[in-house]
Amino acid sequence: MRGKEIRERSEQELVDLEARLARDVFRLRFQNFTNRLDDSSQLGKTRKDLARVKTVRRQRTLDAAADAGRKDKP
């Protein structure tokens, strides 16, 4: 998943996507541990996608806080 695709999503979609990716990472870790994972690179790709989603959510939070701080000052 590309960063542009993630940034275009709404906040609720990002929350849902983050939860799904976290479940996928958990599932893939167990499959890797039990040697049932065919494509071991999938775990790394999913972890990176999860990190991208978390980064975009954090950026939006910080931007909203910065905007609120600017509105308070004259």
pLDDT-derived band at 51 (thresholds 50, 70, 90) equals very high
Task: Please report, for the domain that includes residue 19, its CATH number.
Answer: 1.10.287.310
pLDDT tens-digit profile of 6-33? Answer: 999 999 999 999 999 999 999 999 999 9
Domain that holds residue 66: 3-72
Domain count, the chain: 1
Helix (H) or strand (E) holding 55: helix 41-72
CA distances from residue 10 to 56, 60, 61, 69 in whole angstroms, order as listed: 11, 11, 13, 23
Residue 47's φ and ψ, nearest 5 degrees, are -65, -40
The CA radius of gyration of the chain, in Å to the nearest whole number, is: 16
**pLDDT tens readout for residues 33-49:** 999 999 999 999 999 99
- The torsion of the CA quartet 13, 14, 20, 24, rounded to 10 degrees, works out to 140
pLDDT at 74: 56
* Per-residue DSSP letter, 9: S
